[in-house]
């Protein structure tokens, strides 16, 4: 039993960790900003996973990542978080806290999916991990002309970080040593949380994994066009009809080029974000107080290239086909992830922040996806029963995945503890980083 300020919480032991899952951190009516969840008096049984925000199936990702559509129940009341801590936590012990913001293009995913199970990270490195579930898609990330707010999912995340500051000490966490970490849209969200005035009081370090910062700007016209179509969704539209409508809204984005790769997302000029012209100044204000580890995989775009019939045909051409696909991958990886990450981190250090930049190039031997987008996930959350043999890493021996994974988990946790990374370093054959 735990006794945080929010009210008593009971969890469960699971091998080498203790889990307290599905704890409400906020409440919100549809299309409304969140408010903190009210405190409670009776013990809260935190033994069920947080429900996922309603979302549609993505069979392609199920095949690649081994997820299962419907794995978690769906609910609009999805503002819940789950805490994983070492089972042998000593009285009074205070461990670094790592708050996980999941990815999924701001339309899919959930904090408690099996592929994000942090048990290995926690048990091996003595950290406390908080996994956050938040609103997605039309529920969380699109303004309309009639005044429906944008960035509701981002506001949810802020409430989760506030909850952590208030309550995490009861679970063995040190509220003065909080690291925000997230992959893909999760990394993008954390980058944008860093632009809020409150950010330095909520987390002191940030790990941005494969954040698509190259497509986060210049989205106003696309979002406006999407918002017009989204007016058809009301407060009374059944949840799964909202999800179905999401696909129609996303179709509007197609004429906006590469931005359409992630049609939903953060919107500048809507709370809690400044106008787009002021975003760099906002980031600069928080830079001296938040240390950053930012990077991407070396072949990000290879996750998406096999879905293109044109590129699949191109890849089958002898010699030239393989070279052409590699060239396209390099261009897209650089445009969406690489160049923007370097720009972000250079600005961060000029503004007085500390930062390291990494590239992850590990991949399964002979695998069509190579060092693709999401290949960091099986390394970071290395649960064999979930990850062994899935499409993304098919061809790799689990022992090799686990060896690199242990080193990656140790590196991430060391950063969260405040260990010095030095001028440069890495994992032989898998990852290299350097101070900026």
Active site residues: 184, 300, 373
Closest C-alpha among 406, 370, 367, 372 to residue 389: 367
- Please state, as a whole number, how many other Cβ atoms lie within 10 Å of the Cβ of residue 254: 11
Q: How far apart are CA 136 and CA 378, in angstroms?
A: 23
Q: 102 near 111, Cβ under 8 Å?
A: yes
List beta partners, residue 358. Answer: 295, 433
For residue 412, the Cα-to-chain-centroid distance in whole angstroms is 15
How does DSSP assign 51-90, residue by residue? Answer: PBPP----HHHHHHH---TTSS-B-S---EEEEEEETTPP
Report CA dihedral (96, 196, 131, 394) to the nearest 10 degrees.
Answer: -100
How does DSSP assign 153-208, residue by residue? Answer: HHHHHHHHHHHHHHHGGGGTEEEEEEEEEEETHHHHHHHHHTTSTTHHHH-SEEEE
Q: How far apart are CA 136 and CA 420, in angstroms?
A: 36
Q: How far apart are CA 35 and CA 13, in angstroms?
A: 30
Pairing outcome for strands 9-10 and 44-45:
parallel
Half-sphere exposure of 195 (CA within 13 A, CB side): 25
Q: How far apart are CA 89 and CA 406, in angstroms?
A: 21
């Amino acid at each position: 039993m735990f006794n945080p300020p929010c009210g008593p919480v009971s969890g469960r032991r699971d091998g080498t960790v203790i889990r307290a899952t599905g704890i409400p951190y906020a409440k919100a009516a549809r299309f409304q900003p969140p408010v903190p969840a009210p405190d409670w008096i009776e013990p809260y049984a935190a033994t069920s996973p947080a429900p996922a925000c309603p979302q549609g199936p993505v069979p392609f990702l199920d095949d690649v990542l081994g997820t299962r559509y419907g794995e978690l129940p769906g609910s609009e009341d999805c503002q819940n978080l789950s805490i994983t801590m070492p089972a042998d936590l000593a009285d009074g012990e205070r461990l670094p806290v790592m708050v996980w913001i999941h990815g999924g293009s701001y339309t899919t995913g959930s904090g408690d999916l099996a592929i994000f199970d942090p048990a290995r990270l926690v048990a091996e490195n003595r950290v406390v991990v908080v996994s956050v579930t938040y609103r997605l898609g039309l529920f969380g990330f699109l303004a309309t002309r009639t005044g429906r707010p944008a960035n509701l999912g981002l506001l949810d995340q802020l409430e989760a970080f506030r909850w952590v500051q208030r309550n995490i000490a009861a679970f063995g966490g040190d509220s003065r040593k909080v690291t925000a970490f997230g992959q893909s849209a999760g990394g993008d969200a954390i980058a944008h949380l860093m632009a809020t005035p409150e950010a330095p009081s909520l987390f002191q370090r940030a790990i941005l994994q494969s954040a698509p910062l190259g497509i986060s700007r210049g989205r106003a016209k696309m979002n406006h066009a999407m918002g017009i179509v989204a007016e058809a969704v009301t407060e009374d539209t059944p949840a799964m009809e909202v999800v179905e409508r999401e696909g129609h809204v996303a179709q509007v984005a197609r004429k906006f080029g590469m931005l359409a790769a992630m049609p939903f997302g953060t919107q500048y000029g809507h709370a809690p974000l400044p106008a787009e012209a002021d975003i760099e100044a906002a980031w600069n204000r928080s830079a001296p107080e938040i240390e950053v580890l930012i990077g991407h995989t070396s072949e990000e775009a290879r996750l998406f290239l096999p879905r293109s019939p044109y590129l699949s045909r191109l890849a089958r051409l002898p010699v030239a086909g393989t070279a052409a696909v590699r060239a396209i991958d390099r261009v897209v990886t650089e445009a969406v992830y690489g160049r923007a990450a370097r720009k972000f981190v250079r600005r961060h250090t000029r503004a007085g922040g500390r930062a390291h930049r990494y590239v992850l190039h590990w991949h399964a031997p002979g695998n069509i996806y190579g060092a693709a987008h999401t290949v960091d996930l099986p390394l970071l959350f290395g649960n064999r029963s979930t990850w062994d043999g899935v499409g993304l890493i098919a061809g790799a021996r689990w022992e090799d995945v686990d060896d690199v994974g242990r080193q990656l988990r140790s590196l991430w946790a060391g950063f969260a503890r405040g260990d010095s990374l030095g001028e440069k370093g890495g994992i032989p054959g898998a990852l290299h980083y350097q101070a900026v």
